[in-house]
Amino acid sequence: MVADTKDHAEKLIHACNEYGKVRAGGFDTLDSPNAAAFGIVVVPKDKDRGYNSACRLGAMVTGVYAGNGASRHQMRGRLRRLGQRRKLVVFKTVVMENSLLHLVSTEKKCDSDRKLFSYMFSLCSASTAAHAT
């Protein structure tokens, strides 16, 4: 999990551990001898360089935080490495419902759905026209 700040990371770790299903730890648990005991690792968004031990992790969950694209790319690169142990690595960005980003992404999805439907309709129409002649 990627947190906005160190304080935010501590709150997320506490919340995850309160739930109790999977043990959560902070950035320092990545290189600890018992690293495998932590199923969730929460790091602040500024911890994007200088470690390779995240290759055992299989997913990254982040919010929409201010920053630059290079840092986000570096953060993803911590998981997507040559030493990655998993066949599939998942990246998810959590967006607050009814926020501007949510509405824009919903509109884009609707627009792409409309384009897809229009394209499929044109294929069906062309196929029907070809059979009619």
- Model pTM above 0.85: no
Each residue's pLDDT tens digit, 73-131? 777 887 787 778 788 888 887 777 766 666 666 655 555 555 555 555 555 554 444 44
Q: Are residues 73 and 112 in the same domain?
A: no
Q: Looking at the 3D structure of the chain, how many domains does it have?
A: 2
Here the tokens at position 80 are 């997507």
Give mean pLDDT, residues 7-23. Answer: 87
Q: Are residues 101 and 117 in the same domain?
A: yes
Q: What is the pLDDT of residue 7?
A: 92
Element (H, E) at 80: none
Q: What is the Cα–Cα distance from 65 to 45, expressed in whole angstroms?
A: 8
Q: Are residues 46 and 90 in the same domain?
A: yes
Please name the residues in contact with 83: beta carbons below 8 A apart, sequence gap of 6 or more.
Answer: 52, 55
Going from the C-alpha of 76 to that of each of 21, 43, 54, the distances in angstroms are: 25, 12, 10
Q: Are residues 36 and 9 in the same domain?
A: yes
Which range of residues forms the domain containing residue 112?
97-133
- The answer, yes or no, to whether residue 57 has pLDDT greater than 50, is yes
Q: What is the Cα–Cα distance from 93 to 18, expressed in whole angstroms?
A: 23
| Count of Cβ atoms closer than 10 Å to residue 47 Cβ | 21
Spell out a b/e string for 54-91, using b for 16 or more CB atoms within 10 Å of the CB, else e. Answer: bbebeebebeebeeeeeebeebeebbeeeeeeeeebee
Q: Report the sign of the C-alpha dihedral through residues 110, 113, 115, 117, in that order.
A: negative
Q: Are residues 6 and 30 in the same domain?
A: yes
Is 37 or 97 the better-scoring residue by pLDDT? 37
- The answer, yes or no, to whether residue 52 has pLDDT greater than 70, is yes
Q: Are residues 75 and 28 in the same domain?
A: yes
